[in-house]
Chain A
Amino acid sequence: MIRRVLFTVIRLGSLVVPAGRRESWRREWSAEVGYALHTLEGRGRRGLLARASLIVRTCWCLTDAAWVRAEAVSVREIGRRVRSAWRGLKRTPGVTASVLLTLAVGIGACTALFSVAYAVLLRPLPFPEPSRLAVIWAETRSAVGRPLPVDAPDVALIREQARAFEGISFVRTVTDGTLDGEGEAESIALARVTGNFFDVLGVSPELGRGLKPGDGRLTPAQAARDDDDLTPLPPTAVVLSHGLWVRRFGGDPAVLGRAVQIDGNPAVVVGVMPAEFRVPAPAGSGIPSEIDAWTPVRFDLSLLRRTERLEDQDSRNGGIVLARLRNGVSAGAASRELAAASTSLRRESTAGREAGFRLVLAPLRDEVGRAARPLLLALLGAAGLVLLVGCLNVAGLLLARSLARGRDRAVRVAMGADRGRLILDALTEAGVLAVLGGGVGVALAVLGAPRLVGLLPESIPRLSEATTSLPALAFAALVAALSVLVFGTIPALRAARVDPALVLSGGRSLGTRGATSIRMILVGGQLALVTVLVMGSALLLRTVENLERTDLGFQPDGVMTFDLSLVLRDGYRGPADRARFLSELEQRLSGLPGVRAVGTTGILPLSGRRFEQPYALAGQGSLGADPGRRAAFRVVTGGYFRAVGTKVLAGRSFIPADDDQNRRVAIVDEALARRISGRHPTAAAVGTPILIPVDGEEVRAEIVGVVESGRQDGLRAESEPAVYVPYRHEASRNVSVLVRTAGSTEALSGPIRAALRDMDPRLAIHGMRTLESLVSRQVAPTRFFLGILVAFGALALLLAGIGVFGLVAYEARSRRREIGVRAALGATRGRLLGKVLRRSLAVGGGGTLVGVGVTLGISRLVGSVIYEASPAEPGILAFASAVVLAVTALGSWIPARSAARTDPMEVLREE
């Protein structure tokens, strides 16, 4: 068996070698392979690997043959061949045009998607020596694979211990700020970073300077002061983005040294970043890539570590660590240092350090593209499938065309033409088609890529870098070459199998039966691939349905929300002041026409922000004793639950009397209530005490209500236990206000702004948007993918349908005589129709089965895109099979019907 395979490969190769050297070439390879095989005999199973490698080695004879052939061909000869191939192609303009169109669309789609995927996932970041840039995340046992921000005090220790880094910079996660000075207060995206942030990235400003370590640094006494102490601080430095500089300061170079106010504190503009600078924001970091201004973190990180200042919701200490490795230091060495630092941190652990805490290092480029990776790869895979369907289709067309020209070739062989030449001519033709199709495809990709970028969800990073680049062109060339291999080889090999005697004596053109079965396989393959695409579309449709049907635990429709930052030098001092302000604001907003409810929260659902703290049940140890007991903490006002549309399942919401600091109260969600009440109904949690940290101290609060659990972190994220405390008890400065209306949400935005301006014109509203938009932003990438996949699926279905049509039409034509005779002998039309159809439906069925199998196999790869749907669902299986079989039936019906109408007299007369 193996001998036959090996010698067939050599014989195939020899066909490519020029006739003059063919015999010698074949003899040399046969001697080598024959002897190698001889030494392997008798080795039984032990020789299995050796046999496999002999097969591989023998296959390389094909490149040797190609090399020998290429050497014998001059450039002029190649030019002549190409021209002759082009003439041949022009003779069948219909086939050529459809082949070119198919290839162009397939290669174009693949190239366009590749250029996007390359920009997002592979292209080095636009900074000097980007491979040395990395992110440091924290990880805990309960959140393996879900990177967490690192606390600022921990960064100080990493800086002390790790030697592998040239620089470690820190970006705090809070990024809303208010810019004041000349003109109206403006909401800006503000990043608070360590002074070495720009140095670590290796970027310089276009104007002035970047930040310096020590910029705006506070004295220990200033840094340790109370949060509500709002006496003036010394001015800090601020670096503006190009956009903010142009928008607010008219691009005036004299902006350097200008005094502004940031969140009510004085600051001096020291620099302006270049227009093209974007922050390489790691996925899930909550940092937008468009930042308006950068100010330094004002406290010394090591001071923070010594004082162990406890986190609270305003001075949240978590942040993103961007680091640059020292030249020549490997990521492995750096990771080992981080592991050692993790051990130190665990040892001197602060209360509430979660079990399994460790620091992990990840290349910055990969982290920036991480969230977009599954979507982009799946898209690229889908485009690849369409191209593959196209190639199989083209192979079928070329095969049919080559059969039709069998007589031509028979004449050439009879006149002494070399069979190797026939193969080469066929391959040249395929190559010409691939080059032309690829060229048009690249043109389509260049034109289409910007449009594609416009369609892609905005959450995908680095889209502005997506252009048709050199790697994308190389990719297009590779894809075109692979396509030739797929669609060119079979027709080329068939071209050589021509028996002039048989053909010229008027027999059936040439190995028709063999060719038909190859075409059946090609069509079956197309249908299998189409099945994969159709099942993929069905899975995504189900995913979108599931996501939209998810019980959110709140009602997003008809709610307008906006963020406020209650940070002003001479106002909102102390929780009581802030609570009073919000209470008045809520009252005013409630009075707006159509408004049903108004509430305020520290963290808006689906905003991507979360705040987690330990809790404990009374009588079961103190806070942090059980690392498993952590819950999301949210401060809310009494109206919040009505405004967001979360049902109070037991007990009550907060009331004004709850503001009393001497009687602490809390509301828990159903998930936490279930943990507390155990086997009893969740309502039993009402009235029980719970230990929670408030303002850094452990307090005992009475649970007064149980509310629905909600998808706070994302539609796909399981709800986690949550504790709600009254706003007055921990009066966060950064809040989101929700306004539920019976009327139009858009109409609310003007009156809301007016009401706020009326109360305090110095406060800027950040991010006014509907709650609904936060939900749809979550579904958008999946919805987009669904759209693309449906389009691809439809295209592939069309191609496969054409493939089926061609197959059946060809078969019907070549069996015309048989059908005519049967009709003459009394076969009914129905019977004849059934006979022709049966075969194509068998091909369709086989293709569908293979496609289903493949989908089941690969669905795991795109598991993160799919949500609560399985390819094994009967509904999805039935849908996909029905669609594919319907297209098969449709494609076969037309040619089969005309075949069944064959007039026997006509056929017999032709004889």
Chain B
Amino acid sequence: MPRAFNLTYPTSTVLLAIRQGHRYGFDIMDATGLPDGTVYPILRRLEKRGALEGAWEDEEEARAEGRPARRYYALTREGEAAAAEALERFPVLGRIFDAGRDPGFT
């Protein structure tokens, strides 16, 4: 099935950062090092095209940590496939993101 979005370098970086376990906006900005203004539009586009799923964090959990509930992003099946393709296309990203990949998180 053809993808509904272009797998550009910034998009790939965002996908792989999320796959590595960075789940919310500012965390993804920090992890990717992309210019601040580009990350949210990528998230919006990926979510709209079905590669990401955004969900609100449980209020209770957030309150326990003394902060407001966040919106967490996770890869859908399509997003996982896109992330794998991204790794093939930009092998250098694998060295950045796969090396530090949390083994318990897939």
Residues of A that sit less than 8 Å from B by CB: 24, 27-28, 30-32, 34-36, 38, 56-57, 60-61, 63-64, 67-68, 71
Contact = CB atoms under 8 A, between A and B. Distances in A.
Given A36-B26, A57-B26, A31 B40 contact: no
A56 B66 CA distance: 25
B41 interface: yes
18 contacts: A27-B68, A31-B62, A31-B67, A31-B70, A32-B24, A34-B67, A34-B68, A35-B67, A36-B26, A38-B66, A56-B36, A57-B26, A57-B29, A60-B36, A63-B41, A64-B44, A68-B44, A71-B48
Contacts of B68: 27, 30-31, 34-35
Nearest to A64: B40
Contacts of A30: 68
A67 to B, nearest CB: 5
Nearest to A53: B36
Contact of B40 (A34, A56, A67): A67
Contacts of B40: 60-61, 63-64, 67
Interface string B31-47: 00000110011001000
A31 B37 CA distance: 18
B10 interface: no
Contact of B44 (A27, A32, A61, A71): A71
A99 B15 CA distance: 46
Interface string B47-69: 01000000000000010001111
Contacts of B69: 27, 31
Contacts of B67: 31, 34-35, 38
Contacts of B3: none
A63 B25 contact: no
Nearest to A63: B37
Given A32-B25, A64-B44, A68-B44, A57 B70 contact: no
A32 B48 contact: no
B71 interface: yes
Given A64-B41, A71-B44, 11 more contacts: A24-B71, A28-B25, A28-B70, A31-B62, A31-B68, A31-B69, A31-B70, A32-B26, A36-B26, A38-B67, A60-B37
Contacts of B70: 28, 31-32, 35
Contacts of B62: 31
Nearest to A24: B71
A67 B41 contact: yes
A349 B41 CA distance: 64
B75 to A, nearest CB: 18
Contacts of A36: 26
Contacts of A71: 44, 48
A414 B24 CA distance: 38
Contacts of A57: 26, 29, 36
A57 B66 CA distance: 22
A58 to B, nearest CB: 9
A213 to B, nearest CB: 48
B73 to A, nearest CB: 10
Interface of B: 24-26, 29, 36-37, 40-41, 44, 48, 62, 66-71
A56 B26 CA distance: 13
A30 B62 CA distance: 14
A61 B44 CA distance: 12
A74 to B, nearest CB: 14
A473 B25 CA distance: 37
Contacts of A27: 68-69, 71
A71 B70 CA distance: 23
Contacts of A63: 37, 40-41
Contacts of B36: 56-57, 60
A95 B71 CA distance: 46
A54 to B, nearest CB: 9
B24, B29, B40, B48 pick with most chain A CB within 10 angstroms = B40
A30, A60, A68 pick with most chain B CB within 10 angstroms = A60
A63 B44 CA distance: 12
Nearest to B25: A32
A35 B69 CA distance: 10
A34 B71 CA distance: 13
A36 B36 CA distance: 14
Nearest to B65: A35
Nearest to B69: A31
A232 to B, nearest CB: 70
Contacts of A64: 40-41, 44
Contacts of A28: 25, 70-71
A69 to B, nearest CB: 11
A29 to B, nearest CB: 8
B37, B48, B62, B70 pick with most chain A CB within 10 angstroms = B37
A61 to B, nearest CB: 8
A828 to B, nearest CB: 59
A34 B68 CA distance: 8
A64 B67 CA distance: 23
A267 to B, nearest CB: 60
A31 B44 contact: no
B31 to A, nearest CB: 14
B69 to A, nearest CB: 6
Nearest to A62: B37
A24 B36 CA distance: 20
A68 B54 CA distance: 15
A56 B37 CA distance: 10
A752 B48 CA distance: 86
A56 B36 CA distance: 8
Contacts of B66: 38
B97 to A, nearest CB: 22
A35 B37 CA distance: 19
Considering the complex of A and B, which 4 residue pairs feature the smallest CB-CB distances, nearest first? A64-B40, A31-B68, A60-B37, A28-B71
A34 B69 CA distance: 10
B43 to A, nearest CB: 9
A106 B38 CA distance: 32
Contacts of A34: 67-68
Nearest to B41: A67
A722 to B, nearest CB: 59
A61 B25 CA distance: 11
Contacts of B29: 57
A56 B29 CA distance: 13
Given A57-B26, A71-B48, A31 B41 contact: no
Nearest to A30: B68
Given A31-B67, A31-B71, A60-B36, A67 B25 contact: no
A67 B47 CA distance: 13
Contacts of B24: 32
A32 B44 CA distance: 16
A621 B54 CA distance: 88
A570 to B, nearest CB: 75
A445 to B, nearest CB: 31
B26, B62, B66, B70 pick with most chain A CB within 10 angstroms = B26
B104 to A, nearest CB: 24
A767 to B, nearest CB: 57
A31 B48 CA distance: 21
Contacts of A32: 24-26, 70
A2 B22 CA distance: 27
Contacts of A38: 66-67
Contacts of B71: 24, 27-28, 31
A61 B48 CA distance: 18
A16 to B, nearest CB: 13
A10 B26 CA distance: 15
A300 to B, nearest CB: 54
A120 B44 CA distance: 44
A38 B44 CA distance: 26
Nearest to A28: B71
A32 to B, nearest CB: 5
Contacts of A61: 40
Nearest to A70: B41
B88 to A, nearest CB: 28
Nearest to B29: A57
Contacts of A68: 44
